[in-house]
């Protein structure tokens, strides 16, 4: 609309970026050259030389705008995989639409209310609507549905109360389908049921604000993680107000017996473990056609995130992390379990540099013969690709690759195709990490190289052996415990990059800083690379 407030626009310096171009409720849609395409859903946009109000206030002008009409037309041809009518037309339209009631919904009418349980869904013949999440007293636009879409079907299919309001943007003509008809149709059409459960998973997996969801005794508030078959929410125990993490199996996966069994298996496995370096399972809930694992909420950062942020981890700090993972794996091995998915994403650094090992979704008894080893290729032991059973040594290999990445900031064989990576894993030992890391302590170098031998017989035969080789480095660590909370201390890690020609000046500054720290009762440990 030539407002000049799009990214790079003429009026940005004077008026700022358009809120529609920066609003992250539509992450991935509002960025770049598409900035502002949902301008009608966001308050405070500039149009016709005037700052506009909320969608409700500007609805009449926006839905008659040429830009709105153009986007609406485009949406009739994009995202066809999520168009309900596009799916059913070639298959079961006759059986589904015979005698379905039709309704007319007026522009501006709210026809689905957040939090209400519903037994009716709407299939859009004509017109468009907007989905709005109400949270903390604010309204967030989170979705836009047009011709061919279905709305309200999550409640009908799963029984869960609606997680958003739905309001008509324009006059709408819809078919209505109740739960009894919906269930009868989907039970007789397995392809339709598969499509609908995939659609539910797609709509739940969003970077947009989410409504609070009641899961038994718990309330899920915000999405904090995603995996191939699950979504993780931050939550709280409703009565105790205790923070928790809630891992929900994606609805399309919950219909597959193998994945469902693995999900239950993960809950049973972790519930049977009691170790300070392993995440705890608190509860399990089965409802809304899926399964929720309730776990302790971890205030921390994954090693993956730490590597991205810091590029690499200092050797002595890395040794402390690896040692704690060894302790966790040794405990799991004493219970006869192999993790099978050791990598930086599944290792969380807690306050005080305490480690928590998470995601036992692929865990199995030692000796399991399973070609579907589950983990990322780069961390998988070579023998697993030949169908050899997983055992403690395959976890050791994965930990060795993780340790290499911690220290160097990169994987052993970066920037190669998946096929080439598989070939390198099976035919070449990893590079010497000392080539990348100056003054790498020999015990750490030795442990990584031995852990990553291609031949399992040449590796450590159990995780205790690896821990013992790293142990001498732990004596060099600061004398206060890793869990600084238990000593009443708070630990702060600083990283300084200095030029060699100014090293003496920095040493003097650090010495003065150390004297002040000691006066305050603190302790400063300096580790130079």
In angstroms, the Cα distances linking 423 to 143, 291, 396, 403, 420 are: 44, 38, 20, 21, 5
Residue 60, φ and ψ in degrees, nearest 5: -60, -45
pLDDT for position 479: 37
Kindly state whether residues 376 and 305 are assigned to the same domain. yes
Same domain, 46 and 159: no
- What is the C-alpha separation between 221 and 431, in angstroms, rounded? 44
| The pLDDT value given to residue 275 | 93
* pLDDT on residue 197: 79
From the list 170, 185, 76, the residue with the least C-alpha distance to 121 is: 185
Rg of the Cα atoms in the chain? 28
Question: CA-to-CA distance for 221 and 233, rounded, in angstroms?
Answer: 7
Q: Identify whether 16 is part of a domain.
A: yes
Is residue 346 within 8 A of residue 359, CB to CB? The reply is yes
Residues with Cβ within 8 Å of 22's Cβ and at least 6 positions away in sequence, in order, are 30, 35
| 3-class secondary-structure state, position 230 | strand
Query: Which of 246-260, 473-487, 502-516 has the weakest average pLDDT?
Result: 473-487
Q: What pLDDT shows up at residue 229?
A: 74
pLDDT at residue number 481: 38
Q: Is 323 within the bounds of a domain?
A: yes
Q: Tell me what the mean pLDDT of segment 195-202 comes to.
A: 76
User: Same structural domain for residues 48 and 155?
Assistant: no
| Catalytic residue from among 341, 353, 391, 469 | 341
Question: In degrees, to the nearest 5, what angle opens at C-alpha 342 toward C-alphas 479 and 472?
Answer: 30
Identify the domain boundary among 434, 450, 474: 474
| Together in a domain, 316 and 462 | yes
Q: Does residue 528 fall inside a structural domain?
A: no
pLDDT at 482: 35
d(CA 305, CA 322): 16
Is residue 497 a part of any domain in this protein?
A: no
The CATH code of the domain that includes 223 is 3.30.200.20
For residues 129-134, give the mean pLDDT. Answer: 88
Residues of the chain with pLDDT > 90, as a percent, come to 35
CA angle 392, 395, 396 (to 5 degrees): 85
Q: How confident is the model at residue 478 (pLDDT cuts 50, 70, 90)?
A: very low
Residue 255 predicted with pLDDT over 70: yes
Q: How confident is the model at residue 303 (pLDDT cuts 50, 70, 90)?
A: very high
* Model pLDDT, residue 523: 62
CA dist 379 and 321 (Å) reads: 17
Please indicate, yes or no, whether residues 244 and 284 belong to a single structural domain of this protein: yes
C-alpha–C-alpha distance, residues 466 and 489, integer Å: 30
Same domain, 334 and 395: yes
> Given a cut of 80, is residue 325 above it in pLDDT?
yes
**Distance between CA atoms of 176 and 97, rounded to whole angstroms?**
10
Considering the domain architecture, whether residues 143 and 233 belong to the same structural domain is answered as no
Kindly tell me the burial class for residue 454, based on how many C-beta atoms sit within 10 Å of its own C-beta (0-12, 13-18, 19 or more). Answer: middle
- The arithmetic mean of pLDDT across residues 167-172, rounded, is 91
Neighbours of 330 (CB within 10 A): 17
The answer to whether 379 and 362 are in contact (CB under 8 A) is no
Q: List the one residue out of 85, 79, 115, 82 whose CA is nearest residue 100.
A: 85
Q: What is the pLDDT of residue 371?
A: 46
The residue that leads in pLDDT, 498 or 102, is 102
Q: Which two tokens stand for residue 178?
A: 């109740």
DSSP-assigned beta bridge partners for residue 131: 143, 166
Q: Match 């036992």 to its residue by tokens.
A: 360
The answer to whether position 70 is within a domain reads yes
CATH code where residue 408 lies: 1.10.510.10
CB 128 within 8 A of CB 228: no
User: Is residue 130 included in any domain, yes or no?
Assistant: yes
Indicate the DSSP class of residue 165: E
The mean per-residue pLDDT over the stretch 468-494 comes to 60
Q: What is the crossing angle of helices 442-451 and 463-474, to 10°?
A: 170
Question: Mean pLDDT over residues 414-418, rounded?
Answer: 88
Q: Is residue 233 part of a domain?
A: yes
The structure tokens 């890793």 sit at 482
- Nearest CA to 76 out of 150, 168, 146 is that of 146
State whether 432 and 357 are in the same domain.
yes
- Structural domain boundaries enclosing 414: 301-474
**Quick check: pTM over 0.85?**
no
pLDDT: is 80 or 409 the higher one?
409
SS3 sequence of 2-22: CCCCCCCCCCHHHHCCCHHHH
Pair of tokens at residue 32: 């770049």
Distances (CA, A) of 523 to 320, 459, 495, 520, 526: 18, 38, 16, 9, 10
Q: Give a yes or no: residue 502 inside a domain.
A: no
Say whether both 314 and 447 belong to one domain. Answer: yes
- pLDDT for position 236: 95
Domain count, the chain: 4
Active site residue 66: no
Q: Which range is least confidently modeled, 6-20, 133-147, 507-521?
A: 507-521
Q: Are the CB atoms for 158 and 292 separated by under 8 Å? A: no
Average pLDDT, the chain: 81
Mean pLDDT of 413-430: 91
User: Among 79-93, 341-355, 438-452, where is mean pLDDT lowest?
Assistant: 79-93
Choosing from 138, 169, 204, the residue where a domain stops is 204
Q: What is the mean pLDDT of residues 322-332?
A: 95
For residues 338 and 467, state if they share a domain: yes
- Residue 32 pLDDT > 50: no
User: Does residue 94 register a pLDDT over 80?
Assistant: no
- Spatial distance between the Cα atoms of 293 and 287, rounded to a whole number of angstroms: 11
pLDDT value for 480: 36
Tokens encoding 305: 């995130």
Closest CA to 403 of 469, 451, 456: 451
């Amino acid at each position: 609309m030539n407002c000049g407030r799009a990214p790079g626009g003429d009026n940005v310096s004077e008026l700022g970026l358009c809120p529609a171009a920066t609003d992250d409720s539509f992450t991935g849609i509002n960025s770049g050259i598409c900035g502002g395409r949902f301008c009608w859903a966001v308050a405070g946009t500039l149009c016709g030389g005037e700052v506009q109000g909320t969608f409700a206030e500007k609805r009449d002008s926006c839905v008659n705008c040429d830009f709105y009409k153009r986007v609406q037309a485009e949406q009739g041809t994009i995202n066809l995989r999520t168009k309900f009518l596009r799916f059913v037309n070639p298959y079961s339209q006759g059986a589904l639409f015979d005698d379905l009631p039709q309704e007319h919904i007026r522009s501006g009418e709210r026809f689905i209310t957040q939090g209400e349980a519903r037994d009716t869904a709407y299939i859009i013949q004509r017109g468009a609507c907007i989905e709005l999440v109400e949270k903390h007293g604010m309204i967030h636009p989170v979705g836009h549905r047009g011709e061919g879409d279905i709305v309200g079907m999550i409640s009908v299919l799963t029984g869960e109360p609606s997680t958003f309001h739905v309001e008509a943007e324009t006059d709408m003509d819809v078919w209505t389908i109740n739960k009894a008809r919906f269930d009868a149709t989907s039970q007789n059409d397995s392809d339709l049921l598969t499509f609908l459960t995939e659609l539910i998973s797609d709509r739940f997996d969003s970077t947009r604000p989410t409504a609070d969801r009641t899961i038994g005794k718990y309330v899920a508030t915000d999405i904090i993680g995603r995996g191939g078959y699950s979504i993780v929410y931050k939550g709280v125990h409703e009565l105790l107000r205790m923070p928790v993490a809630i891992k929900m199996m994606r609805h399309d996966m919950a219909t597959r017996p193998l994945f469902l069994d693995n999900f239950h298996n993960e809950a049973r496995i972790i519930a049977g473990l009691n170790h300070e370096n392993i995440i705890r399972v608190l509860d399990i809930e089965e409802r809304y056609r899926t399964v929720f694992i309730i776990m302790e909420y971890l205030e921390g950062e994954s090693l993956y995130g730490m590597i991205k942020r810091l590029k690499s981890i200092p050797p002595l700090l890395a040794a402390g992390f690896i040692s704690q993972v060894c302790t966790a794996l040794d405990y799991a091995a004493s219970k006869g379990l192999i993790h099978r998915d050791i990598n930086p994403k599944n290792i969380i650094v807690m306050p005080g540099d305490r480690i928590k090992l998470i995601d036992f979704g692929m865990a199995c008894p030692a000796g399991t013969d399973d070609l579907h080893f589950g983990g990322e290729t780069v961390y998988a032991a070579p023998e697993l690709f030949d169908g050899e059973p997983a055992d403690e040594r395959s976890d050791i290999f994965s930990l060795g690759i993780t340790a290499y990445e911690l220290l160097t900031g990169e994987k052993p064989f970066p920037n190669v195709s998946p096929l080439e990576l598989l070939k390198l894993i099976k035919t070449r030992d990893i590079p010497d990490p000392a080539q990348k890391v100056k003054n790498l302590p020999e015990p750490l170098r030795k442990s990584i190289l031995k852990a990553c031998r291609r031949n399992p017989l040449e590796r450590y035969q159990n995780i205790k052996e690896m821990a013992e080789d790293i142990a001498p480095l732990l004596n060099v660590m600061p004398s206060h415990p890793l869990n600084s909370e238990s000593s009443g201390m708070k630990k702060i890690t600083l990283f300084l990059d200095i030029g060699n020609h100014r090293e003496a000046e920095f040493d003097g500054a650090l010495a003065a800083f150390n004297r002040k720290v000691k006066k305050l009762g603190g302790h400063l440990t300096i580790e130079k690379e």
